[in-house]
Amino acid sequence: MHTDNQTQPTHTDTKLKRRRSWRFLAPALAVLTLGGGVVATAAHAQMAEQADADAAGGGFGGHRLQKLLDKVNATPAQRSQIEGIWSNLRPQMKANRQQHMALHQQMTAAFTAPTVDAAQVEQLRQQSMAAADKQSQLFTQGLVQTAQVLSQAQRQQAAAAIEQARARFHHHFGHEQQ
Protein backbone atom coordinates (compact mmCIF):
# COMPACT_ATOMS: atom_id res chain seq x y z
CA MET A 1 0.00 0.00 0.00
CA HIS A 2 1.07 3.50 -0.69
CA THR A 3 0.78 6.01 2.14
CA ASP A 4 1.29 9.75 2.02
CA ASN A 5 4.41 9.46 4.21
CA GLN A 6 6.23 7.55 1.47
CA THR A 7 7.25 9.54 -1.57
CA GLN A 8 8.41 8.26 -4.88
CA PRO A 9 11.87 9.43 -6.03
CA THR A 10 11.65 12.13 -8.65
CA HIS A 11 13.60 12.35 -11.87
CA THR A 12 15.62 15.24 -10.38
CA ASP A 13 16.57 13.16 -7.32
CA THR A 14 17.84 10.34 -9.53
CA LYS A 15 19.93 12.73 -11.64
CA LEU A 16 21.45 14.26 -8.50
CA LYS A 17 22.41 10.83 -7.13
CA ARG A 18 24.02 9.88 -10.46
CA ARG A 19 25.99 13.12 -10.52
CA ARG A 20 27.22 12.52 -6.96
CA SER A 21 28.29 8.97 -7.77
CA TRP A 22 30.37 10.25 -10.72
CA ARG A 23 32.21 12.63 -8.38
CA PHE A 24 33.58 9.60 -6.57
CA LEU A 25 33.83 7.29 -9.56
CA ALA A 26 35.77 9.58 -11.93
CA PRO A 27 38.86 9.99 -9.69
CA ALA A 28 38.83 6.26 -8.94
CA LEU A 29 38.78 5.48 -12.67
CA ALA A 30 41.67 7.89 -13.26
CA VAL A 31 43.75 6.22 -10.54
CA LEU A 32 42.95 2.77 -11.92
CA THR A 33 43.88 3.88 -15.44
CA LEU A 34 47.23 5.31 -14.37
CA GLY A 35 47.85 2.34 -12.10
CA GLY A 36 47.11 -0.01 -14.99
CA GLY A 37 49.71 1.82 -17.08
CA VAL A 38 52.30 1.35 -14.36
CA VAL A 39 51.45 -2.35 -14.03
CA ALA A 40 51.54 -2.80 -17.81
CA THR A 41 54.92 -1.07 -17.97
CA ALA A 42 56.31 -3.30 -15.23
CA ALA A 43 54.92 -6.41 -16.92
CA HIS A 44 56.38 -5.32 -20.26
CA ALA A 45 59.79 -4.78 -18.64
CA GLN A 46 59.66 -8.22 -17.06
CA MET A 47 58.69 -9.84 -20.38
CA ALA A 48 61.50 -7.97 -22.15
CA GLU A 49 64.02 -9.18 -19.57
CA GLN A 50 62.77 -12.74 -19.99
CA ALA A 51 62.98 -12.42 -23.79
CA ASP A 52 66.58 -11.21 -23.45
CA ALA A 53 67.45 -14.16 -21.22
CA ASP A 54 65.71 -16.58 -23.61
CA ALA A 55 67.33 -15.08 -26.68
CA ALA A 56 70.81 -15.26 -25.19
CA GLY A 57 70.39 -18.98 -24.65
CA GLY A 58 68.40 -19.64 -27.81
CA GLY A 59 65.23 -19.79 -25.68
CA PHE A 60 61.71 -18.87 -26.72
CA GLY A 61 62.56 -16.55 -29.63
CA GLY A 62 65.40 -18.82 -30.67
CA HIS A 63 63.07 -21.81 -30.50
CA ARG A 64 60.59 -20.17 -32.87
CA LEU A 65 63.40 -19.31 -35.27
CA GLN A 66 64.66 -22.90 -35.16
CA LYS A 67 61.15 -24.23 -35.88
CA LEU A 68 60.81 -21.88 -38.82
CA LEU A 69 64.21 -22.87 -40.19
CA ASP A 70 63.17 -26.53 -39.84
CA LYS A 71 60.00 -25.87 -41.86
CA VAL A 72 61.96 -24.31 -44.72
CA ASN A 73 64.66 -27.02 -44.63
CA ALA A 74 67.46 -24.50 -44.04
CA THR A 75 70.95 -25.89 -44.51
CA PRO A 76 73.47 -25.81 -41.65
CA ALA A 77 75.30 -22.98 -43.43
CA GLN A 78 72.07 -20.95 -43.71
CA ARG A 79 71.24 -21.59 -40.05
CA SER A 80 74.67 -20.41 -39.00
CA GLN A 81 74.40 -17.21 -41.05
CA ILE A 82 70.88 -16.44 -39.79
CA GLU A 83 71.76 -17.12 -36.16
CA GLY A 84 74.75 -14.79 -36.59
CA ILE A 85 72.52 -12.04 -37.99
CA TRP A 86 70.22 -12.11 -34.98
CA SER A 87 73.08 -12.52 -32.50
CA ASN A 88 74.62 -9.32 -33.86
CA LEU A 89 71.34 -7.41 -33.67
CA ARG A 90 70.31 -8.66 -30.23
CA PRO A 91 72.50 -6.26 -28.16
CA GLN A 92 71.24 -3.23 -30.09
CA MET A 93 67.64 -4.37 -29.77
CA LYS A 94 68.10 -5.00 -26.05
CA ALA A 95 69.60 -1.53 -25.48
CA ASN A 96 66.82 0.07 -27.48
CA ARG A 97 64.14 -1.85 -25.56
CA GLN A 98 65.70 -0.73 -22.26
CA GLN A 99 65.66 2.88 -23.44
CA HIS A 100 62.02 2.51 -24.44
CA MET A 101 61.13 1.09 -21.01
CA ALA A 102 62.93 3.98 -19.28
CA LEU A 103 60.86 6.39 -21.34
CA HIS A 104 57.68 4.57 -20.25
CA GLN A 105 58.74 4.99 -16.63
CA GLN A 106 59.44 8.69 -17.19
CA MET A 107 56.01 9.06 -18.82
CA THR A 108 54.36 7.42 -15.80
CA ALA A 109 56.24 9.79 -13.48
CA ALA A 110 55.17 12.77 -15.60
CA PHE A 111 51.51 11.74 -15.40
CA THR A 112 51.63 11.15 -11.65
CA ALA A 113 53.50 14.37 -10.80
CA PRO A 114 51.63 17.04 -8.81
CA THR A 115 51.41 19.10 -12.00
CA VAL A 116 51.36 17.57 -15.46
CA ASP A 117 53.75 19.35 -17.82
CA ALA A 118 52.24 18.98 -21.29
CA ALA A 119 55.50 19.96 -23.03
CA GLN A 120 57.45 17.31 -21.09
CA VAL A 121 54.82 14.66 -21.87
CA GLU A 122 54.96 15.54 -25.56
CA GLN A 123 58.76 15.36 -25.56
CA LEU A 124 58.63 11.93 -23.90
CA ARG A 125 56.01 10.78 -26.42
CA GLN A 126 58.25 11.83 -29.30
CA GLN A 127 61.27 10.08 -27.77
CA SER A 128 59.18 6.95 -27.19
CA MET A 129 58.02 6.93 -30.80
CA ALA A 130 61.63 7.37 -31.99
CA ALA A 131 62.70 4.40 -29.85
CA ALA A 132 59.84 2.29 -31.23
CA ASP A 133 60.83 3.30 -34.77
CA LYS A 134 64.45 2.35 -34.09
CA GLN A 135 63.34 -1.06 -32.78
CA SER A 136 61.26 -1.55 -35.92
CA GLN A 137 64.24 -0.59 -38.10
CA LEU A 138 66.50 -3.09 -36.34
CA PHE A 139 63.94 -5.87 -36.62
CA THR A 140 63.32 -5.11 -40.30
CA GLN A 141 67.07 -5.11 -40.89
CA GLY A 142 67.23 -8.59 -39.39
CA LEU A 143 64.34 -9.76 -41.56
CA VAL A 144 65.93 -8.40 -44.74
CA GLN A 145 69.29 -9.97 -43.93
CA THR A 146 67.58 -13.27 -43.11
CA ALA A 147 65.60 -13.15 -46.36
CA GLN A 148 68.81 -12.61 -48.31
CA VAL A 149 70.19 -15.87 -46.93
CA LEU A 150 67.11 -17.92 -47.86
CA SER A 151 66.00 -18.85 -51.36
CA GLN A 152 62.76 -17.52 -52.81
CA ALA A 153 61.08 -20.89 -52.26
CA GLN A 154 62.22 -20.92 -48.61
CA ARG A 155 60.92 -17.36 -48.11
CA GLN A 156 57.56 -18.41 -49.54
CA GLN A 157 57.48 -21.45 -47.23
CA ALA A 158 58.35 -19.22 -44.27
CA ALA A 159 55.61 -16.74 -45.18
CA ALA A 160 53.06 -19.55 -45.40
CA ALA A 161 54.18 -21.00 -42.04
CA ILE A 162 53.96 -17.56 -40.38
CA GLU A 163 50.48 -17.01 -41.84
CA GLN A 164 49.33 -20.40 -40.54
CA ALA A 165 50.66 -19.57 -37.08
CA ARG A 166 48.93 -16.18 -37.19
CA ALA A 167 45.64 -17.83 -38.19
CA ARG A 168 45.95 -20.33 -35.31
CA PHE A 169 46.65 -17.48 -32.90
CA HIS A 170 43.64 -15.49 -34.07
CA HIS A 171 41.43 -18.56 -33.96
CA HIS A 172 42.64 -19.54 -30.49
CA PHE A 173 42.28 -16.08 -28.98
CA GLY A 174 39.15 -15.12 -30.88
CA HIS A 175 40.64 -12.14 -32.71
CA GLU A 176 39.25 -11.21 -36.07
CA GLN A 177 41.74 -11.34 -38.89
CA GLN A 178 42.32 -8.07 -40.63
Q: Across residues 92-103, what is the average pLDDT?
A: 94
DSSP the chain: ---TT--PPPHHHHHHHHHHHHHHHHHHHHHHHHHHHHHHHHHHHHHHHHHHHHHHTT-HHHHHHHHHHHHTT--HHHHHHHHHHHHHHHHHHHHHHHHHHHHHHHHHHHHHSSS--HHHHHHHHHHHHHHHHHHHHHHHHHHHHHHHHS-HHHHHHHHHHHHHHHHHHHHHHTPPP-
Domain ranges of the chain: 20-173
Where is pLDDT greater, at 23 or 130? 130
Q: What is the mean pLDDT of the chain?
A: 77
Q: Across residues 148-174, what is the average pLDDT?
A: 87
Residue 104 has pLDDT above 80, yes or no: yes
